Structure 1
Amino acid sequence: MTDTDGRDGFVRAGGGARIAYQVRGGGRALVLLAGQSNNHHWWDAVREDFHPAHRTVTLDPRGTGASDKPQHGYSISEFADDVIAVLDALGLDRVDLYGTSMGGRVAQWVAVRHPERVRRLVLGCTSPGGPHAAQPDASVRQLLAQPDPVAVREALADLMYTPDWRARNPGPYRTLGDPDMPRHARHGHLVASNRHDAWEQLPRVTAPTLVLHGDADRLTPPGNAHLLADRIPGAALHLVAGARHAYFEEAREEAGRVVREFLA
């Protein structure tokens, strides 16, 4: 697939939606899946860290970025089908898969439904979903339900990063949502994420799995990491001390090293 390195493209997926993808670097393919209501720029700060050994593949989930933004068709299983459509378009039979937040929910279903396509699986700051999941406390939900979008963005930034790190890194931050996302698509992502429940299926994951989580994550409590690691056969667990939801960016050196060693 050297002919696609460094290129952007589109693929037709379920319902005829065009899904945008981006390929960078060379080596074994590593698919990076972003969080809820975010496009591929979620990975901008750390993507190049994987390029010494991997070709990275990202996509704009339907409803974000350059992808189509249909009125309907938002579910975790639909997002997983979109990932497979991109892999098929690129001729990638088997890949390493790293999903964070909602992208981790999508990655769970890709690994469950298409085990032959996933060589190694990394699940970051994510949840098994459903009644077994550890839920954020009421104060977090209240912060994100404020009517003022500026206040919500500030609250989200605080959930993503520690104050000390933000003081040293004033942004702009690429993990706070796609600003051009239409309201119906944003709602679709929220509903899809809330309806995710892979609990009964997780023991079917056959790919070697690494679970990563910041131990100070209030958005997706770290108890979810323990649940995933216990539920997926043979899964390894790594908690990043003091990190919040965007552990992969704030603790870039530690988290990147752990993932690269696991994938190697």
Structure 2
Amino acid sequence: MNLKCRTQLPAVFRQTLLSIGLALASLSASALPSFTLDPSTIGLAGSAFTADNLLVSNFSTVLNGPAGAFTETGYLSVTGAQLGGGMAMAAGLNTGYGLYVQFAGAGHTTFGTDPTTGPTFGTLDSLTYTLYGYNGTATFGFDAGNMPMTTATGAIALASGMLVPGTGSVTTTPSAPLFAPSANAILTMDGTAGGAFFASPNPFMNQALTSFSNTSSQVSLINGGFTIRQGGGSINFSSAVPEPESYALLAAGLAVIAFVSTRRSRDRR
């Protein structure tokens, strides 16, 4: 098997995909309301900031099971915040304090078997997570057994949740030298533990939209699966209204845009 082969997307097809992605994302732009987080209220060394998007770096391990089943565990380190498409000032983030998500999930593939030779699609059957805050700085990576780990200490649980049934999807696309995985999911969001950390709106929003798009350079094969190191992603909070279909529409749009952008960057090399 030649893992370095790849197919070129015709320019017209790329443009069509990009147009579809922009249209889908635009149709559901209302699903990205702003929110205010205040780390100082729970003793973290930072100040309040307003954003509509949290940027995260993905460190996860995916292990294959029988009959197309898979499990995934990992950490999402919050690297920054955005507001209205630009960067939001989050004083102290990743210098005085940090935020991360620890998650675990399971699913199964619905199409494709070898991600290095053809696209694969899958469904998340379960996913749980906890959002943590901690003072100081930390690193994220993998232990000797290729399982995700962090050096963060004294972490405080701020929020938790689980998959909204029927809203989690995963895909892979062949890409030299391996393949590019992506995922989208809608999660419930219970911020009771964080209290005043979730400053606005009050009551805080009760769902989180997550979207991840990774390049093949962030993927490493391991025995029984693969790891993702420093993958890209985002988390947006929102209420249960509009209907979940609107969130799925936004996730689909973001996924298409990320896919086309990745292919453009790779095709230029």
TM-score by length of 1: 0.24
More helix, by proportion: 1
Q: Which has the higher contact order (CA 8 A, sep 6+)?
A: 2
Structure of greater Rg: 2
